[in-house]
A and B are shown apart, each in its own frame.
Chain A
């Protein structure tokens, strides 16, 4: 049987991952704030790596 608590938290994290990937912005600096969501960033940028 699945455990009952945690599903919403996981869904929230997965949503943040999707939004970050869709927005083409997926790097946070560890010693600065980060929100996990940059919804106002647009697409179309290229990571030079």
Chain B
């Protein structure tokens, strides 16, 4: 088997498909029946791990995702790490990450994550008032208290956490309150912000909740003001770091800034391969299935190459834009008209960049030297 020399080929593995114990209003899978129990078989897991590890050289990174991945149970995760060790003979550095809603975290899970150096991301939209608006369970009850309970267990075990906050119209009006909650009350220092956008307008439960460019700009200004005011080197807001990378002419890490769709692929519970979870489940984006083709064939065939070309091809105005290298036309799933379209939040990204650049210049007392 040919070895692909690429550190950045990271799989996002949906061990239970879209199955979830929550019923969040804005979830990509909201229109699916997420109560159906789907589970990756050990056969698919082993086949995937064996092929991926043989295909990619160097250090390995895995993102365990959902639905809610903890629903598959701790024994499955123990099998993951034992197979990884076996298939690498313990000679390669492996970084596992899991993205969870936090409600199923127990002492046993936390001990496992700590012992195996898992990075843990928890979805949390703010204080109870913000979080419980859309992050509800199957009975319509808010999940804030269960999520916070899980976070506290993870913190007790010294696991470094990062939070993903989905920003809707509703909680965009409470940016300051939520930041105070995250930093002062919940003692969280790493935050990622994902603006909500129902680009197809299919989610009837979230009508009026997609952010406009103006709303995102106004919200991001509040995050930036807070970040400058706290002036804490350890406080990381991912979107500010990403934008600041552009201000200094450096490459942002986040895939929705650096045009790196091709660095990821998503594996469904049934062995189906897609670009990312935002585009998974749509047959137009399915690259193939492990039961029918090898992983190498799926990842190197024309369909994936064509998607990569589309996702990386920039519209003409992007080519002339000063943010070309620090935006790359944003997230492919948030483009108007599909992968070749224009990033919906283009205007906001420019405005936020200018605001952050100007504030940075005032603090440094000089013009920031960029390499754009």
**Nearest CB of A to B260, in Å:** 5
Could you give, for residues 333-372 of chain B, a 1 whenever the CB lies within 8 Å of some chain A CB and a 0 otherwise? 0000000000000000000000000011011110000000
B251 at the interface (CB under 8 A from A): yes
> Which A residues are CB-close (under 8 A) to B97?
32-33
Contact A34:B194 (CB < 8 A) given known A24-B7, A25-B7: no
**Nearest CB of B to A38, in Å:** 7
Bound-complex Cα distance A27 to B252 (A): 8
Interface residue ranges of B252-306 to A (CB < 8 Å): 253-256, 258, 260, 262-264, 276-278
Bound-complex Cα distance A49 to B253 (A): 15
Contact A46:B5 (CB < 8 A) given known A7-B231, A30-B254, A33-B99: yes
Contact A31:B277 (CB < 8 A) given known A5-B231, A13-B241, A36-B253: yes
Contact A44:B58 (CB < 8 A) given known A3-B359, A36-B190: yes
Asked if A30 and B194 sit within 8 Å, CB to CB, the answer is yes
Asked if B12 and A32 sit within 8 Å, CB to CB, the answer is yes
Asked if B7 and A2 sit within 8 Å, CB to CB, the answer is no
Asked if A29 and B12 sit within 8 Å, CB to CB, the answer is yes
Classify the interface of chain A: helix, strand, loop or mixed: loop
Asked if A12 and B240 sit within 8 Å, CB to CB, the answer is no
Asked if A28 and B255 sit within 8 Å, CB to CB, the answer is yes
Bound-complex Cα distance A28 to B245 (A): 14
Asked if B253 and A34 sit within 8 Å, CB to CB, the answer is yes
Bound-complex Cα distance A3 to B230 (A): 13
Asked if B276 and A12 sit within 8 Å, CB to CB, the answer is no
Select A41's contact among B59, B122, B229, B235, beta carbons within 8 Å.
Answer: B59
> Which A residues are CB-close (under 8 A) to B9?
48
Bound-complex Cα distance A34 to B257 (A): 14
Asked if B6 and A47 sit within 8 Å, CB to CB, the answer is yes
Asked if B120 and A17 sit within 8 Å, CB to CB, the answer is no
Asked if A27 and B65 sit within 8 Å, CB to CB, the answer is no
**Nearest CB of B to A11, in Å:** 6
Could you give, for residues 230-258 of chain B, a 1 whenever the CB lies within 8 Å of some chain A CB and a 0 otherwise? 11111110101100110010110111101
Interface residue ranges of B15-68 to A (CB < 8 Å): 58-59, 61, 63, 65
Contact A27:B255 (CB < 8 A) given known A33-B164, A41-B95: yes
Asked if B253 and A27 sit within 8 Å, CB to CB, the answer is yes
Bound-complex Cα distance A49 to B250 (A): 17
Asked if B235 and A9 sit within 8 Å, CB to CB, the answer is yes
Bound-complex Cα distance A8 to B236 (A): 12
Residue in B closest to A45 when the chains form the complex, CB atoms:
B7
Bound-complex Cα distance A45 to B99 (A): 25
Contact A31:B194 (CB < 8 A) given known A7-B363, A12-B235, A45-B58: yes
Bound-complex Cα distance A20 to B8 (A): 13
> Which A residues are CB-close (under 8 A) to B255?
27-30
Bound-complex Cα distance A28 to B367 (A): 29
Asked if A27 and B263 sit within 8 Å, CB to CB, the answer is yes
B161 at the interface (CB under 8 A from A): yes
Interface residue ranges of B154-173 to A (CB < 8 Å): 160-164
**A-B contact list, 20 entries, CB within 8 Å:** A3-B363, A5-B231, A6-B227, A7-B363, A9-B230, A9-B233, A12-B232, A12-B235, A13-B236, A13-B241, A16-B236, A25-B61, A27-B264, A28-B253, A29-B264, A30-B194, A31-B276, A33-B162, A36-B190, A41-B93
Known: A12-B234, A33-B162, A46-B5. 15 other contacts (CB 8 A): A2-B362, A3-B362, A7-B231, A13-B240, A26-B251, A27-B260, A29-B63, A30-B192, A30-B254, A30-B256, A30-B331, A32-B12, A42-B93, A45-B59, A47-B8
